[in-house]
A and B are shown apart, each in its own frame.
Chain A
Amino acid sequence: MYVNNRNNEFVFALAGNPNSGKTTLFNELTGSHYEVGNWAGVTVERREGVCKYVYHKHESRLDTHEHTSVHKHGEIHNHIRIIDLPGIYSLSPYSAEEIITRDYIMKEKPDLILNIVDATNLERNLYLTTQLAHMGIPMVVALNMMDAVEKSGGKIDRDKLEEMLGVRVVPISAGKGTGIQDLVTESLEIASSGKLCGVNVTFPDDIEKAVSEIIREEKTSRMCAVKLVEGENWIEPSEETKKIVSGLRSKYDDISTLLASRRFLYIRRIVKTVLTGMDDHLDEMTDNLDSLAAHKYLGIPLFILLMFVIFQITFGPFGTMLSDGVDYLINGVFSSFVGRLLEFFGAGEFSRGLVLDGIISGVGGVVTFFPQIMLLFLFLSFLEDSGYMARTAFIMDKLFVKIGLSGKSFVPLLMGFGCTVPAAMAARTLDSEKDRRLTVLLTPFMSCGAKMPVYVAIAGAVFAEKAGYVIFGLYMLGILLAIISGVIFSKTILKGEAPPFILELPQYRMPTLKSTFHHMWEKVKDFLVRAGTVLLAASIIIYLLQNLTFGLQVTNDETKSIIGVIGKFISPVFAPCGFGSPEAAISLISGFVAKEAVVSTMSILYGASDLSALQATLASQLTPLAGLSFLVFVLLYVPCIAAVTAIRSELKSVKLTVFSIVYQVCIAWLMSFLVYNIGSLFV
């Protein structure tokens, strides 16, 4: 036996139901750290990685071992490419991300389908297995979550399952990392033999006959032929095929229901034989938690309470204390150390300024808020890993239908409090194009984590101990305007019926401390990387523009500097909103690069050495009302460039993207204007 694949490299595609552990396995196989979460629809795009197990031909066998281990000399090892895909319930895709999976399997033809089956839920998961098996591609079933099955006292007769399904089955636990090497070894064996799965489910004779004829006629896979019979044309059928299909359809009035029932009947028989010791009962922990989380009256108040607690911890005394600590370390200890170091090496005034007043003050001004951002992401990660996310979609659906959305939109919108980019992408899981676009258009209203430093710095400066309330109010204002905009959009530019709501509610899982921290770290890392790259660059540029004239002369006169001139030119636009200073205008513009840059730019422009110095300057520059108006503008105006790019690619429309930008700017200006001018009447 030997390899008949392209360039001696195998391609294995991970396919399975949503939430069955595909990405967990992918991360385990490739050593990556992609997002895993306890709800259906975490992965919304295709990802590739190289398997850490390599193989080489060893006499007649293919041997696998970890790439890092010592090689027997002279042997060439070969790689396996792993593809992670969004979860699907069947091969008839329903939402945008499911199409990606179906198309990949159908068109790209991997060497092997690794079908991940959640062993705690065989009946539903095996339905897809009966379909994948007939795609004309070798397949292995990875029976995942075996740890959970064993914990609840269940046993699965693997040999029997293999025999009945006609597919190789390997028990694993992706979460615990057990059975993985066996899985790779067995998969290689199947892939290199090119052996296809046997027929499993059979249909009534006349349907079987039609299917065989179509397979011959179209030279296609059994699955494709079955779908043609059901009236789902994966390929353009020939006249002959059309005749066979219409002949069959005149005999049966509902072939799809018949075939699906047959599959489930067949699966029920298998599960009855192979599975023992697991009673068909609702998981008790999930039931107890849900009787609170999804309660008729308590569900929504509990959610609001939970959000409030998260908010209090992040923005209250605890979070603030942590940030003050970091502020002291960076702007106090580190900055003076670097200052002395530069002096010691005799650095000139300009380069000292660039490092201290540009880079450290700019980047440091933002990194200060690192602990608070970490807390926020820690809570979000916990919500995602526990299984609560799907519940929020469930309890909010009725309200969301009223504003023209579906409860499922709630998950992307919640993610928007972290970052708008994944939030816009998560909208792919929604069931209709209209819902997707509407949700994407509303994500910028969910105040993202990067805006947090701006709120804390400015609200802290002008509102002192009342800052917490003001920030809470900002988040609420964002949500309120999202609701109003949602209603307006769904009645004007994005009309249409609310699509049906079909949502799986996964079992709760207690996330381990390790996995939650890991998950949080993956999110926080982006923030740190951005501080080290985009913010660093922006800080240097801002410092240079502040200290150079258009003739590239070094200047200390701010009004002559490039920034001074530009700022003075734009600032009148914001004067009616109460913050007509050039510094405010420039900060807002640099906020387009990254929202944290608003703070770093201010630190540089005001020459503030640390957070308290910045806040003192701000307090003298802005009245509380002007500060509030500025914050409202930051909350609402165009998201950063990365977010706009994501929004554009999810909306798939330049026109709508431009609309979104214009809408956000207009509404931001209008709201700040109203806040400042109506507020002035009272103050």
Chain B
Amino acid sequence: MLSLSALRDGEKAVIVSINTHGRLKRRLLDMGIVPGTEVTLVRRAPIGDPIEFYVLGYRLGLRKKDAENILCEQGSSVRE
């Protein structure tokens, strides 16, 4: 397991857990960052932060420090 921010550009992963709390967590869940969702790291902004992800068919920008708290498993999911 590794954090979302540790993915390489273009790498795919499946979310395992979201280790944040409160409002931020609520928001992430509501935007589709839930266990089992497939995520691709698309690119990093200047100076490496924030990071653009491709998730559920749209692009989402997250700060490195928030992405660090989301754990994932490399590879694509067996989407049932």
Task: Please give the residue numbers on chain A whose beta carbons come within 8 Å of chain B beta carbons, in ascending order.
Answer: 89-90, 92, 94, 120-124, 127, 256-257, 260-261, 264-265, 268, 272, 280, 282, 286-287, 290-291, 294-297, 299-300, 390, 393-395, 397-398, 407, 500-506
Contact = CB atoms under 8 A, between A and B. Distances in A.
In this complex, the member of B18, B42, B50 whose beta carbon has the largest number of chain A beta carbons within 10 angstroms is B50
Contact of A257 (B29, B32, B62): B29
Contacts of B29: 256-257, 260
A89 B60 CA distance: 13
Interface in B40-80: 42-50, 52, 54, 56-63, 66, 79
Given A123-B57, A397-B63, A504-B58, A260 B34 contact: yes
Interface of B: 18, 23-32, 34-37, 42-50, 52, 54, 56-63, 66, 79
Nearest to B61: A503
Given A300-B46, A505-B59, A94 B23 contact: yes
A680 B57 CA distance: 60
A268 B44 CA distance: 28
Query: Which of B18, B26, B36, B48 has the largest count of A CB atoms less than 10 A from its CB?
Result: B26
B45 A121 contact: no
16 contacts: A120-B57, A123-B57, A124-B58, A256-B29, A257-B29, A282-B42, A286-B59, A296-B45, A299-B46, A393-B61, A397-B45, A398-B46, A501-B66, A502-B31, A502-B66, A505-B59
B30 A296 contact: no
A351 B27 CA distance: 64
Nearest to B64: A398
B60 A502 contact: yes
Nearest to A259: B29
B15 to A, nearest CB: 10
Chain B contact residues: over half helix, strand or loop, or mixed? mixed
Contacts of B35: 257, 261
A92 B26 contact: yes
Given A260-B34, A397-B50, A502-B28, A124 B63 contact: no
Contact of A264 (B28, B32, B54, B59): B32
Contacts, number: 124
A144 to B, nearest CB: 15
Contacts of A90: 26, 30
Contacts of A296: 43-46, 48
Contacts of B28: 502
A268 B79 contact: yes
Contacts of B50: 394, 397-398, 407, 501, 503
A548 to B, nearest CB: 60
Contact of B57 (A124, A264, A290, A295): A124
Output the residue of A92, A120, A264, A272 with the most chain B CB within 10 A.
A264
Given A264-B56, A297-B46, A394-B61, 6 more contacts: A257-B25, A257-B35, A395-B45, A504-B58, A504-B61, A505-B52
Given A282-B42, A407-B50, A505 B60 contact: yes
Q: Which of B37, B42, B63 has the most A CB atoms < 10 Å from its CB?
A: B63
Contacts of B58: 121, 124, 504-506
Which one of A122, A123, A390 has the greatest number of beta carbons of chain B within 10 Å?
Answer: A123
Contacts of B61: 390, 393-394, 397, 407, 501-505
A15 to B, nearest CB: 14
Contact of A121 (B27, B48, B56): B56
B18 A257 contact: yes
Contacts of B43: 290-291, 294, 296
Contacts of B49: 397-398
Nearest first, the 4 A-B pairs at minimum CB distance are A90-B30, A260-B29, A505-B59, A503-B61
Nearest to B37: A264
A257 B31 CA distance: 12
* Central interface residue in B42, B47, B56, by most chain A CB within 10 Å: B56
A264 B28 CA distance: 13
Nearest to A261: B34
A398 B45 contact: yes
B41 to A, nearest CB: 12
B26 to A, nearest CB: 5
Contacts of A502: 24, 27-28, 31, 60-62, 66
**Interface-central residue, B27, B44, B49, by most chain A CB under 10 Å:** B27
A492 B40 CA distance: 40
Contacts of B79: 268, 272
A668 to B, nearest CB: 33
B73 to A, nearest CB: 15
B52 to A, nearest CB: 6
B31 A124 contact: yes
Contacts of A260: 29-30, 34
A123 B32 contact: yes
Contact of A123 (B23, B42, B48, B56): B56
A73 B27 CA distance: 54
A127 B58 CA distance: 14
B45 A256 contact: no
A504 B60 contact: yes
A521 B59 CA distance: 31
B24 A398 contact: no
A108 to B, nearest CB: 22
A287 B59 CA distance: 10
B5 to A, nearest CB: 13
